[in-house]
Amino acid sequence: MKRTTKSSRPVFAVALAVLGIWLLGSCQSIAGIEDVTYNEGIGVSQSSVECQEYCDTVEAACPGDLAVYEDRTTCEATCAAFDADDPSEEADTFACRLAQAKVAQTIKNDFTEKQPHCVAAGPGGGSFCSSQSENPDCEGYCSLFMQACPSTQADWGFGKHDECVQKCAALEPAGRYTAESAPDTGDTLACRLFYTSRALVDPSDTNCLSAALYPHEDQKCKPIGDPDCDHYCSIVQLACTGDAEVYESDEQCRQVCAHTEPGLVSDGVGHDTVGCRTYHSYNALVRQEEPHCSHSGPAGNGVCSTTMDTSAANCTPYCRLARAGCEDLYNEHYADFDECLDDCSKVKGAVPDFEKNAYTVNKSQTGNTLQCRILHAARALEKPDDAAAYCDAVFGDAPCN
């Protein structure tokens, strides 16, 4: 039995309704055929023979701690949203997930060997049911989310499937996805997959906003634990590219992050922390690059700063990074941190101006600006063995003169 495509679903629904009236007395007597019901959120049959087979198989193959759906209703609703037209068993398709469920069913008493096949049989598709194995589960997440929450996707990050997949790469991977563990993992792809599956049954604000790329702090898939440099750099490097780039390499980002106060995952405006920079990296990812990339960068540019619109807003991060990357020259120039702040306050770009001195790599290559000095401090941290090549510029020599 071939499931209907999206374009034929409305016609299918009408035809089925007419057929149901005609066969009202006889259909229920046919073995194996249940009453057809519809989910308002996705508008498709949930008693598809194919989905019955799929859910029977995946429930038998992946029980208990391996389960990838919280209940039968969620399994069938998610199944109905899979691509049924493509017969490939190596792509983001229904056929692939069914095949992986059958593989998992053949593996007896070996949890470790069975698990990746259960993950592949689940909503995201893992690394087996994807054409982009470097970003497992992203294709599956995006195709399901865009069907479950069409009114949410444009507001929080993307308008096209490939754009969603590209941005999804910034999320912590779903890994060993299970329906039991996923909702408690916080700001992860696993949590989003769980609530995407729920949204296919009930596209409420709670389910759709929890499943969205943007981690709403009042919803389910919000950041937990402590701010993390790996996570921060993954987001900011993906969100801020080209003219909006704020780091020249992942290592440069990590070194600057390592010399920035972690703070809290809930930090927003007014905190010179990794937590604040992560928050604004998400703003850059799902809203717009500027001004959020500048807020996410080394200086924080008056937003990720405890001092806001004063010279200390950009000078505090500058002095911190200059001292960390070029300690000997820093000690030659300044007796203490306050002296650094005072000297820095006289440099162009000390007071944030989002239009004139927003920090980007391209704008900070040369010139007598604080932004140029910050870039060279970041370079010194990135390449400590070559720090001498950058440290003179950190204190106002060429090319920052």
Provide the domain limits for residue 255: 229-394
Predicted TM-score of the model (pTM) = 0.83
92 & 179 share domain: yes
Where do the H-state alpha helices sit in 326-369? Answer: 327-333, 337-344
Q: Give yes or no: residues 237 and 112 share one domain.
A: no
Asked if residue 222 belongs to a domain, the reply is no
Report if residue 203 sits inside a domain. Answer: yes
Same domain, 267 and 207: no
d(CA 211, CA 104): 27
Q: What is the pLDDT of residues 235-260, one digit of tens each?
A: 999 999 999 999 999 999 999 999 99
pLDDT, residue 353, reads 82
Chain-centre distance for alpha carbon 347: 37
Residue 52 pLDDT class (50, 70, 90 cuts): very high
DSSP-assigned states of every residue in 106-146 = H--S-HHHHHHHHHHHSSS-TTTS-S-TTSTTHHHHHHHHH
Average pLDDT estimate for 5-24: 34
169 and 238 both lie in a single domain:
no
Residues of the chain above pLDDT 70, percent: 87
Range with lowest mean pLDDT among 9-23, 99-113, 366-380: 9-23
Does residue 206 sit in the same domain as residue 252?
no
- The reply to whether 241 and 204 lie within a common domain is no
Number of folded domains that form the chain: 2
Residue 359 lies in a domain: yes
Place of tokens 């070194």: 255
State the Cα–Cα distance between residues 34 and 261, nearest whole angstrom: 59
Q: Mean pLDDT lowest for which of 32-46, 132-146, 304-318? A: 32-46
pLDDT the model gives residue 299 = 92
Q: Are residues 238 and 338 in the same domain?
A: yes
Tell me how far apart the alpha carbons of residues 316 and 342 are, in angstroms, rounded to a whole number: 10
Residue range 174-214, pLDDT digits in tens: 999 999 999 999 999 999 999 999 999 999 999 999 999 99
Q: How far apart are CA 66 and CA 64, in angstroms?
A: 5
Provide the token pair at 278: 């992560």
Instruction: Name the residue with tokens 């069938």.
Output: 76
Structural domain includes residue 4: no
